[in-house]
Chain A
């Protein structure tokens, strides 16, 4: 049995980042635990999107468990919270795994994914699930919502706006960048100098019909966002130390929005799913679940759990 994690993430002021370096092995353990949840819940559901959930697991785990995202699972509408928007809504399982791990709801709900009456809808539904800021699932829309939210939070409800460092984090897929609305939002965010907006692209290089660059060439994603006026960094999206460093630097960046292009492997952590577009939206068999769990279980033994 695994220990139940604390529900509250501590408030971290930007000046104090170095004072609370997290235990990276603990974050890696969380990510492994989330990967097992992803595989098991999709198998139980009989459908879902494992590939893009697994590729994003280290990013989402670092956000929630690496002292990056400010939240309080017992108060989903706490005004001072940071906001997270999963623009690639089909990766809902990784989001649900993190929310359960963070204590937004009990783990017993994970087995209800995609079933009638469940709050774990096929794609995130803000009206059904605590911790989901806005419903997503139709690709290309999250960055617009995140931009409007970032603009709306400026000078908002926090008593002292000058100390208001509430940040909106938005996770996009790379195939999703083919949606024109993403670039409308990219223009807007730069034009409005949305320094409180941090976007991450889960750049796993695959989409339903195959390699992104064969379906519709993305070119150099980082250069495109730079050309749109964003501050851009590129990292290994499975290196939790690098992810955290990039997220904190992006949060601290002033003068406009920041983009992290996270190079990832679709299906990461499950040997037979890695790099295979066929696992974009397919449920594993019981035998395949057993193999995946066997591969991932040793990684769940981080020092903190």
Chain B
């Protein structure tokens, strides 16, 4: 963490990153919760059967948006923001692995990342977006000293 440029270690930068990350997760959680069945078919599109049984798709669809919501609210409110930033970054890392796995297998579909509204196809652009959002998470997760 200490290898980050000094301005990213500043408390204000960290707080700003937490708010941005919180807003991102809030938007993505609400978009998904608004249409859970759309999100569950988005998960199905990733074809994670080799790793996660297909029958579990709906359980993921029920829980992921709510974990996002709780983490997003914690980041915004500054309650345990470091823990929330870890959850945020870890979830994004999992999503990013999903995107890479889908791209590697030549799958192309709407990722459903922000629910139906902010949808975009899985691809290099989505990958770049995810990496930027993860970078925000890393800044937000820096330990306060």
Query: Does B associate with A?
Result: no
Q: Which residues of A contact B (CB under 8 A)?
A: none
